[in-house]
Amino acid sequence: MDPAATWRDRNHRWRIEAYRAPDLRFAIFATNGTTESAPLWLFGMAALARWLMTHSLSLGDLESD
């Protein structure tokens, strides 16, 4: 399953991929140079909004990948 969209934060610490499944899903990867973490799966826009708030990120901090 290919992501519908991919974003990175300005500091390139996080990569967010959006997937259109029967519901909207987001996979969040912590990035550190050439390595990445296992994905954290979030289901729906509300879950993504909460995650962004807890990490002090706004939509303006994200760049299209």
pLDDT digit string (tens) for 19-40?
A: 998 889 999 999 987 899 999 9
Please give the model's pTM, rounded to 2 decimal places. 0.86
Instruction: Express the helix, strand and coil content of the chain in percent, nearest 5 each.
Output: 20, 45, 35
Q: Are 14 and 62 in contact (CB under 8 A)?
A: no
- Token pair, residue 13, equals 């610490």
- Angle (CA) 59-37-18 rounded to 5° is 40
In this predicted structure, the answer to whether residue 60 has a pLDDT above a threshold of 80 is: yes
Q: What percent of the chain has pLDDT over 90?
A: 74
Domain count of the chain? Answer: 1
Pairing state between β 62-64 and 35-36:
unpaired
Report which of 22, 31, 29, 27 is spatially closest to residue 3, judged by C-alpha positions: 27
- Mean pLDDT, the chain, whole residue set: 92
* Domain boundaries, position 38: 5-64
